[in-house]
Amino acid sequence: MIASLRLAPVLLGLMLLGGCAGNAGSGVGLAGGKLASAEPASTIGSGPLTPQSLLGVAPSALSARLGEPSFKRTEPGAEVWQYGGKACALFVYFYKTSGGALSSAYVDARRNAGGAADTSSCLAEVSAKRLAPVS
């Protein structure tokens, strides 16, 4: 009995580490204080897009670079935009700042088949889809 009690913290630690391993490819976001105090940027630079470059921007800045989202959900004080890639969906979460403007605070990606996707790879898919010629 005592031996099994000594083993409990070890097992708990292994379970917690296993949970962290399942979060590979999870999103990126701003700390709450940064979001509340900063007004959103009105443009995203012309360089290559990264998940980090999508943070702290106004919805108009994002749509200027990626176009209109495939799906948009509006809630009090927040919006969620979804962009569809070939095998993934990119989600951008906007929240109101202390000044009342919407600013992107979190970017995440999910595989169409379910589960987390690599955010950078999904953003590349979404960007490539936007730039693909329409015939």
Residue written as tokens 């979060």?
Answer: 23
Helix (H) or strand (E) holding 17: helix 2-21
Q: List C-alpha distances in Å: 58 to 43, 80, 87, 93, 133.
A: 8, 13, 26, 11, 27
Q: What percent of the chain has pLDDT over 90?
A: 59
Q: What is the pLDDT of residue 130?
A: 78
Residue 68 has pLDDT above 60, yes or no: yes
CA distance 57 to 88: 22
- For residue 45, the model assigns a pLDDT of 84
Q: Provide the pLDDT for residue 116.
A: 95
Q: Would you state the pLDDT for residue 6?
A: 40
Q: How far apart are CA 109 and CA 44, in angstroms?
A: 19
pLDDT tens column, 13-59: 323 223 333 344 567 776 555 555 578 999 998 888 999 999 999 99
Question: What pLDDT is attached to residue 9?
Answer: 34
Q: Tokens in use for 128?
A: 């490539």
Give this prediction's pTM: 0.75
User: Are 40 and 87 in contact, with CB atoms under 8 Å apart?
Assistant: no
Whether pLDDT at 113 is above 50: yes
Give the pLDDT band (50/70/90) at residue 98.
confident
Sheet holding 102-111, edge to edge: 28-29, 102-111, 88-96, 78-84, 71-75
